[in-house]
Amino acid sequence: MLRLAVLASGNGSNLQAILDAYEGGLLRNLQPVLCVADRSCKALERAAAWGLETVLLEGKHNGEKLSEALGRQLSDRRIDIAALAGWLSIISGKLTREWTGRMVNIHPSLLPEYGGRGMYGEQVHKAVLDAGEKQSGCTVHFVTDSIDGGKILGQSRVKVLKNDTPDSLAARILIEEHQLYPKILADLTDSFTAE
Ligand code: GAR
């Protein structure tokens, strides 16, 4: 079994979807063992309620120091795969290089569109609506030192509706995220164990 850490900063609905998928047997070769958060958040509560070990890297950690502390947590707990699920802090190039091919992220747009620094949460959906896009969606990709720029592992699409607000679009995309992320994690880790 490969060991999964989920990195979160917010509500943790993607964390929950991953935990539910594990319980449903979808994550055949991957066991959630750790949740790391960079701030106090609902995701940590969900993780603790499920019985996951939780780590809060708050306050004294920022920038490079946060990445160093994160790297230590991941290696101390012998983590194989790190899944960013609403994680908002920038991860240093040093750490992303150490984790090449083993650190993944979910982003609420059809990358490479609407990604990069400052593009997270509501900003993304607002930009999509302002541009009059006909469709949007979500993307799971490898994390590299280029923000939201790593190899794409999978995408789901949704139609943008005439009366969409950033909130309504975000909610429809989130439903797709909850399906896509566990599936990509399962496929990725199947490919590891087949090697
Ligand atoms: C999700 O929509 C995720 O794609 C997005 O934050 C939300 C977290 O929701 N991530 C980003 O914008 C990262 N650039 P959750 O905490 O309920 O999983």
CA dihedral 58, 139, 33, 1 (to 10 degrees): -150
Lookup result for tokens 């994390």 = 143
Distance of alpha carbon 94 from alpha carbon 71, whole angstroms:
10
Q: Cβ(137) to ligand 1 under 6 A?
A: no
Q: What global pTM score does this model have?
A: 0.96
Q: What is the pLDDT of residue 59?
A: 64
* Domain coverage including residue 157: 2-194
CA atoms within 13 A on the CB side of 22: 21
User: What domain count does the chain have?
Assistant: 1
Q: How far is the CA of 195 from the centre of ligand 1 (A)?
A: 31
Lookup result for tokens 């992303």 = 96
Ligand 1 atom nearest to CA at 108: 4
Residue 189 contacts residue 21 (beta carbons within 8 Å):
no
pLDDT beneath 50: ranges in the chain: none
Q: How far is the CA of 193 from the centre of ligand 1 (A)?
A: 28
DSSP assigned state of 94? H
Distance of alpha carbon 136 from alpha carbon 109, whole angstroms:
6
> Can you give the CATH number for the domain in which 22 is found?
3.40.50.170
From the number of C-beta atoms within 10 Å of its C-beta (0-12, 13-18, 19+), residue 169 rates as buried
Q: What is the pLDDT of residue 195?
A: 65
